[in-house]
Chains A and B, each alone.
Chain A
Amino acid sequence: MAKGKVTLQMLSEMMANNSGRSKSSAESFVRTFFAVLKDALQRDNIVKVKGFGTFKLVVVSPRESINVNNGERVSIAGYNKITFTPDKMLKDRVNKAFAQFDTMVLEDDDLDIVTNAEKVEKAEPQVSAEPQTPVVPQEVAEPEAPAEEPASPVVEDEPRIVALKQETAPEPEPSRVEEKAEPDEQPAPTETSKEQQAKKRTLKIIGIVLFVVGVLLGFYAAISSGKQEPEPTNVNKADSIVMTPEQKAEQAALDSIAQLRAAAKDYEQVEGGDMLIAGTRTYRRITRSHNLVRYCMQIYGTKKVLPYVMKYNNLKSEYVPVGKDVKFPILIEKQDSIK
């Protein structure tokens, strides 16, 4: 979230622009507003401003607490604080994005969401940092969503190769997704002991990470030549770019390859290379975070294709300046190396 700091002066300037008043009158108003507010709070302990909200001076009583590091009892002294409850208009303006949602009754079959949300809720006072907890309930509620994101760019990158492969590639995925999703949720309802909460949460996070990795591996497995084993085996990444020879090439697949071989004649090839360049596969722009090598890994799964990419782009070096658009070739094995 980008939190820009707006000063009183900026605020009064904006107010002047919005209302058509002079900058000086707006500024003097804003200053007086907060000066009177501060003063009144000291006198009256509560100030209600219609259209804005209510400012209240609240006394917090001293309480006992535990020092997190050594478990010792600590007493926190009492103090005064100011609370602000915004008026309806202000509240609604800020909550516009979530205004459509309403509280709803939870039925018993939503138990998983309930128990997990309860666990998150109970864990919240112990864990002060916000970032950790959002991951858990969102991930449990939609186990498929984050998994699909890393998968889809992979699919987009290799449309031709996937088209050649056809068949069972997509099928192992959904079943695997379901398999992985279930073990994530099963442990949650059976354990309710508070003492095991931290353990449960780490296990859940590990489970989610494994699940995402499993889906990614599954895609690699589907694309690679080892299709007899639909399980997420650790596929040799070099295999993903070597296509037809190891596969049970169906007629259509063979024909497409033959077409590409014919097309390959139009392109300048790498001397002594194992593979042929047969057209453009995709384009990428070099950025500070993604260099040529990184894109090769992303697209082909290996750095071994570098010489081909360099040849295809007439590059002398693998170090390409940021901002340059690079085209990535379709690569097919040379005829001689078919086994």
Chain B
Amino acid sequence: MSNKEFISEVAGKITTTPQQCQKMVNELADTLASVLELDNEVVVAGLGSFETRQKKERVMVNPSTGKKMLVPPKVVINFKMSSTYKNKIN
């Protein structure tokens, strides 16, 4: 499902314009980011949770140059399914 379809579907359900709806999506993303920045996790009942995970630095080989590279540590967002959802789709 493309972004356009998704937005129009949501917009239809809560009776706004697709533009407003996209705006709200961005606002939601912004709020989510603020919450995750502070190391919290966001739980969506019946779906799963969003949390941050720290990735350590690692060595990798650049396949094109063949040189060894050092990838710096980083923080990533991780979505974890809830057990109810897991059972539902399996």
Contacts and interface: CB of A to CB of B under 8 A. Distances in A.
A2 B38 CA distance: 8
A130 to B, nearest CB: 8
Contacts of B28: 11, 15, 29-30, 33, 52
A197 to B, nearest CB: 15
Given A50-B22, A103-B71, A94 B76 contact: yes
B37 A3 contact: no
Interface in A79-116: 79-84, 86-87, 89-91, 93-98, 101-106, 110, 113-114
Given A19-B27, A84-B79, 12 more contacts: A6-B40, A28-B14, A48-B6, A52-B28, A80-B90, A81-B86, A90-B77, A93-B33, A93-B36, A94-B52, A94-B76, A104-B70
A44 B9 CA distance: 14
Given A28-B14, A40-B9, A94-B76, A18 B41 contact: no
A117 interface: yes
A334 B29 CA distance: 71
10 contacts: A14-B34, A21-B27, A48-B3, A82-B81, A90-B29, A95-B76, A96-B37, A103-B71, A104-B70, A105-B69
Interface in A94-145: 94-98, 101-106, 110, 113-114, 117-118, 120-121, 133-134, 137
Contacts of B59: 106, 113-114, 117-118, 121
B56 A137 contact: yes
B74 A95 contact: yes
Contact of A49 (B25, B36, B43): B25
B49 to A, nearest CB: 8
A91 B47 contact: no
Contacts of B74: 95, 98, 101
Interface residues of B, number: 64
By Cβ-Cβ distance, the 8 closest A-B pairs, closest first, are A101-B72, A84-B79, A93-B33, A106-B68, A4-B40, A50-B3, A44-B1, A51-B26
A8 B43 contact: yes
A57 B47 CA distance: 13
A307 B72 CA distance: 54
B65 to A, nearest CB: 8
B58 A32 contact: no
A319 interface: no
A2 B40 CA distance: 7
A43 interface: yes
Contacts of B27: 15, 18-19, 21
Contacts of B2: 48
A5 interface: yes
A7 interface: yes
Contact of B77 (A15, A80, A91): A91
Given A28-B14, A84-B50, A47 B6 contact: yes
A117 B29 contact: no
A110 B73 CA distance: 17
